[in-house]
Amino acid sequence: MRSRVDELAANRDALDALFRGDGYGAHLGADLEEWGGGWARVSLLVEEHHRNFAGWLHGGVTFSLADVAFAVASNSWGRLCVALSVDVQFLATVDPGTTLVATCRERHRSARTGAYLMEVRARAADGGQPTDAATGQADAPADGAALVGSLHALVHRSGRWHLGEDAWSRAWRAAH
């Protein structure tokens, strides 16, 4: 029997290709930086066309970037998941030329639902993003980079599996 870590590792390249093939994420300009079981980090360079009619960052950009991270994090165990609800708070705006970083982490997972927290922040001025070595997730920037958006979401975890059910052991499917 394969271990849980080995099973995700064995399917990682195929899942990564699936996630990177997201047409809307590509259209938006989102870059999937890193992901693992239950978490993801995605970035976006804000451009002029991301502004709304008032000249500020369009809220849809903040939401969409977080949603791309949410999709990866919630589907990262291999099970097909779809959003049920998302609550968003738009907290700040940024100018073109700023890189936004959306992180998503799983807070709770059951057989049929999962709860997630997403944060969208301006990348630290030095281009760095502190990360937690255990998860690879971005920590809050030490330089006080702006929290642009905060989102909570609920996902439906279907009975379908990315890559087909045979790509995942019975033990993996039961646990994830």
Q: How far apart are CA 130 and CA 96, in angstroms?
A: 23
Q: How far apart are CA 56 and CA 146, in angstroms?
A: 15
Q: How far apart are CA 1 and CA 3, in angstroms?
A: 7
User: Where do the DSSP E strands lie in 37-98?
Assistant: 39-45, 79-90
What pTM does this model have?
A: 0.88
Element (H, E) at 4: helix 4-20
For residue 130, how far is the Cα from the chain centroid? 17
Comparing 127 with 100, which gets the higher pLDDT?
100
- For residue 21, give the CATH number of its domain: 3.10.129.10
Instruction: Identify the pLDDT of residue 127.
Output: 54
Domain count, the chain: 1
Please name which of 61, 36, 70, 75 lies closest in space to residue 152, comparing C-alpha atoms.
Answer: 70
Range of the domain at 54: 4-175
The 10s digit of each residue's pLDDT in 67-99 is 999 999 999 999 999 999 999 999 999 999 999
